[in-house]
């Protein structure tokens, strides 16, 4: 019975040895290894497994394994830096690739410049506050030709006094973004535009 079990296990043991990559069998802590990526990309070296990027190394760069693999991360030392690299790309030998330029090492977020004032200091500039936008009409009624739409939060430039129609709707003549009229309020209250801040 034991002989039969050994007979069945022997091929598995032999196959198991063939499955373990040569790199895993022959490499140990302190050995020199090389960065070897699949298409010649540079490889990030991180402060901790999956952590902050310290630098990137070119394919073929020699490294020293400084500890056992942690998950998928190999602790290494190279070019005066110690850190972690993805273990699949740290191998005992590697043919040198014509490498691509190194990737930029991520840094602190790039500050976004403050938005420039949209208003130009013209007392006739207003911001559209009606969320659906305001139709720009040729005349002071909704049945006249609609020329364009002044979108929410866009700037319009008024070009004269308001006109109130017979229904109490207040129309404001504008000359920017197009020449025409927009409905800015009703019953004596303007609520669809506000003056630009200065």
135-152 pLDDT, tens digit each: 999 999 988 899 999 988
Dihedral sign, Cα of residue 154, residue 159, residue 161, residue 163: negative
Cβ atoms 181, 161 nearer than 8 A: no
Show the domain range for 165: 125-195
Tell me: do 90 and 28 sit in the same domain. Answer: yes
For the chain, the first-to-last Cα distance in angstroms comes to 94
Is residue 3 one of the residues assigned to a domain? no
Other CB atoms within 10 Å distance of the CB of residue 15: 9
Structure tokens at 97: 């690739």
Percent of the chain topping pLDDT 90: 39
Based on the structure, what is the number of domains in the chain?
2
Same domain for 191 and 130 = yes
Give the pLDDT band of residue 18 (cuts 50, 70, 90).
very low
pLDDT at 7 over 80: no
State the pTM of this model.
0.42
Q: What is the pLDDT of residue 162?
A: 95
In this structure, are 141 and 83 located in the same domain?
A: no
SS3 22: helix
pLDDT at 9 over 80: no
CA-to-CA separations, 25 to 19, 68, 72, in angstroms, rounded: 10, 12, 16
| 27 and 98 within one domain | yes
| Top-confidence residue, 78 or 100 | 78
Contacts of 16 (CB under 8 A, 6+ apart): none
């Amino acid at each position: 019975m034991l002989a039969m079990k050994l007979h069945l296990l022997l091929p598995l043991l032999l196959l198991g040895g063939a499955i373990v990559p040569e790199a895993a069998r022959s490499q140990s802590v302190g050995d020199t290894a090389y960065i070897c990526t699949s298409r010649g990309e540079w490889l990030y070296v991180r402060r901790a497994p999956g952590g902050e990027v310290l630098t990137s190394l070119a394919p073929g760069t020699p490294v020293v394994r400084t500890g056992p693999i942690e998950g998928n991360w190999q602790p290494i030392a190279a070019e005066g830096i110690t850190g972690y690299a993805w273990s699949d790309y740290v191998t005992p030998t590697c043919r040198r690739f014509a490498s691509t330029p190194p990737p930029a090492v991520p840094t602190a977020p790039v500050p976004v410049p403050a938005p420039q004032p949209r208003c130009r200091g013209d007392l006739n500039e207003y911001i559209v506050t009606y969320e659906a936008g305001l139709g720009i009409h040729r005349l002071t009624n909704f049945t006249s030709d609609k020329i364009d739409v002044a979108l929410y939060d866009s700037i319009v430039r008024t070009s004269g006094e308001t006109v109130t129609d017979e229904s109490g709707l207040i129309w404001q003549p504008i000359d920017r973004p197009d020449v025409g009229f927009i409905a800015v309020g009703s019953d004596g209250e303007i609520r669809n535009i506000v003056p630009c801040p200065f």
